[in-house]
Amino acid sequence: MPTDELTVLETGAIDLVGRVVESSNATYVVQVSLDGTELPAVYKPERGERPLWDFEPGLYKRERAAYVLSEHLGWGLVPPTVVREDAPAGVGSLQRFVEGDHREHYFTLYDDRPDLHDTFRRMAVFDCIANNTDRKSGHVLLGDDGHVYGIDHGLCFAADFKLRTVIWDFAGEEIPAADLATIEPLADAVPDALKTLLSREECSALQSRVRRLLTTRILPIDHTGRRIPWPMV
C-alpha cells in the first residue's frame, strides 16, 4: 500500500532536483522518497528568504499555516505542506508539487472552466480569511487530479489588512451559506496548530476577518482598484 503523502513529506529522504530561478525567494524542486514511494515537492528554506519590512523571517511557517487552515475548514485548497527541520538547506516548508498543465492559471481557467467558479469563489473567501497578500493568477493551479489548488502562501496572515489578489470576479457576491457555516467556529477559536505558527496578534486578526465576513456575508469589493499583486500572473 502506498505511503500517504504527509508521511512521505514529513519523514522521507529529500533529494534536490533543481532551483526555481524566477522565484523571488530561494525555491527548490525536490524528490522525497520513503518506502518505495516517491513524491515531487517544492522546498522553501528560511535561509533563502529575502528580508521584508512587513513580514518577519519564517515565511515557511505561513506556507504550512495556509495548509493547516485549509484542512481545518475541510476545503482542500492547499497541497499537503509540512515543515522540515532536516532539509538540505535547513528548516523550511515542503509542499507536494502539483502535477498539471502549468500554462493554465486563474485567468485562463476562469474563462474556460465555468464549472470551477464555485471553487474560485471559495478560494476568494479563504484568501480573505488568510489575508493573502500575493494571490497571483499563476498561484492557482488545476492538478492532473482535476482538483484546484492554491500555492505560494508565504505572504499571508499579517495582522494588518493587506489583501491583494486577482480574484475579484466575485466581489460583492453573497458568500454561500455553507461556507459561512464552515468558517463561523473560527470567530470563537483558532485551532492550536495555527497558534503554533502565527503570533497572538495574527490569530486575533484572523478572527476579526472571519467576524467581518459573517457580518457582511459578501465578498469584499476593491474600491481602490489597487489591491492586485504584481506581476498579475
Residue among 109, 122, 123, 201 nearest 160 (CA): 201
- Taking only the tens place, the pLDDT of each residue in 185-207 is 999 999 999 999 999 999 999 99
3-state secondary structure of 4: coil
Can you tell me the distance from the alpha carbon of 202 to that of 130, in angstroms, rounded to the nearest whole number? 10
pLDDT at residue 22 in the model: 83
Residues 119-128 pLDDT 10s: 999 999 999 9
- The mean pLDDT value for 217-231 works out to 96
Using DSSP, state whether 15 is helix, strand or coil. strand
Specify the range with the lowest mean pLDDT, choosing from 16-30, 84-98, 106-120.
16-30
How far is residue 138's CA from residue 129's CA, in Å, rounded to a whole number? Answer: 20
Q: Which pLDDT does position 2 carry in this prediction?
A: 54
Q: Work out the number of other CB atoms within 10 angstroms of the CB of residue 194.
A: 19
Q: How many residues does the chain have?
A: 233
DSSP 140: E
Q: What is the pLDDT of residues 38-77, one digit of tens each?
A: 999 999 999 999 999 999 999 999 999 999 999 999 999 9
Q: What's the distance, CA 191 to chain centroid?
A: 17
Distance CA(122)–CA(181), nearest Å, equals 13
Domains of the chain by residue range: 5-216
What beta strand segments (E) does the chain contain? 13-19, 28-34, 37-45, 81-84, 92-96, 140-142, 148-150
Take residue 42 and report the three cell numbers written for it: 517544492
What's the pLDDT score for residue 1? 40
Distance (Å, rounded) from C-alpha 121 to C-alpha 227?
A: 17
131-188 pLDDT per residue, tens: 999 999 999 999 999 999 999 999 999 999 999 999 999 999 999 999 999 999 999 9
**Cβ distance 125 to 219 under 8 Å?**
yes
Helix (H, G, I), strand (E, B) or coil at 77: coil
User: Which residue is listed with cell 458568500?
Assistant: 175
